[in-house]
Amino acid sequence: MSSVAGNIFGMKAVKNLRLEDIEWPKNMIKSFRGPQFGVEGVRRFMQVKKRPLLACVPKPKVGMTTKEHTKVGYDIWKGGVDFLKDDENLTDQKFNRFKDRVKSCFKYRDKAEKETGERKSYFINVTGETKEMLKRARMVKDHGGEFVMVDILTAGWAGFQTLREECQDLKLAIHAHRAFHASFTRDKKHGVSMLVVADLSRLIGADNLHIGTVIGKLVGSREEVLSLRDELEENFVHEGNHRLAENWQGMKKTFAVSSGGLHAGILPYIVNFLGKDIVVQVGGGIHGHPKGSYAGAKACRQALEAIEWGFSLKEYASQHKELKEALKKWGNTRPV
């Protein structure tokens, strides 16, 4: 990246410059590990064969005590959510220490698994100074975790790769958050595209990566989001508008994560658009349910069940009160 996106961007002679995509040589692809688990591996240890996986961030995103955070996690796990997820800003603040959160949340994760008969997991944010990230990852493993989460851009590519190496030995999957990307990907005339970030994420070894929604609250065109999904989840990527062809040489696929302003009423649009090999992350669309987080989690899981079994949401809601209440509140409204 120092070569292809280095000093050239700072040259006075350059008015605008944008790096849209990189076609990676076979030898370079082979020099990276890529995802340790990928789509198939995550589905295997979560014991979910076909449907989209469901994740949720507690709200408010930052400020809850460890006890409050754990309570929300337990409620949404019981309601049908697969993954509790930390916010990108939550790491080791005094009101919710990382060590305390690990101990408390995994205890209640185990409880939720026993009560539901389903696998549950946690994208817990280990982002920090590199040695501290490794220490936190080992703590997650010691308490029975399967995933760590890292803010890949603020941690830096080298920090991310060091964590990836540690997670190889610990057998931990990596949930990659793209916080900070829009500071250089949003300007269509200058900077680096999100497609390049996705490339690097898959090369180094993210098992999950956020790509946007198109109909959610975050910036991202239909073309961009589909290109990101293809770059992460295809073996061969065809050349297209602002995109180079790519042969991933058999590297495992990274799970695309769709998030930002979602609720039960628009999940059919997301699945129809992106397919079933996605992690759907819902925050306010769960916690804002009239009957609380547990009911909100049930509503979103019911929406995914309706999609999987070929029912319309309206039809399925007639027999599922939580989904019915969610549709009454939000309908099919899309965030502006």
Is there a contact between 247 and 235 (Cβ–Cβ < 8 Å)? yes
Q: Which of 69, 177, 181, 320 is catalytic?
A: 177
Closest to 154 (Cα-Cα) out of 128, 135, 131, 188: 128
Q: How far apart are CA 271 and CA 304, in angstroms?
A: 9
Q: How far apart are CA 299 and CA 266, in angstroms?
A: 12
Within its chain, how far is the Cα of 247 from the centroid?
A: 24
Is 177 annotated as catalytic? yes
- Specify the length of the chain in residues: 336
**Residue 246 to residues 21, 77, 204: CA-CA distances in angstroms?**
10, 38, 16
Q: How far apart are CA 29 and CA 250, in angstroms?
A: 10
CA-based torsion, 234, 238, 243, 249: positive or negative: positive
Angle at 134 between CA 133 and CA 136, to 5 degrees: 65
Q: How far apart are CA 202 and CA 197, in angstroms?
A: 9
Residues annotated as catalytic are 59, 177
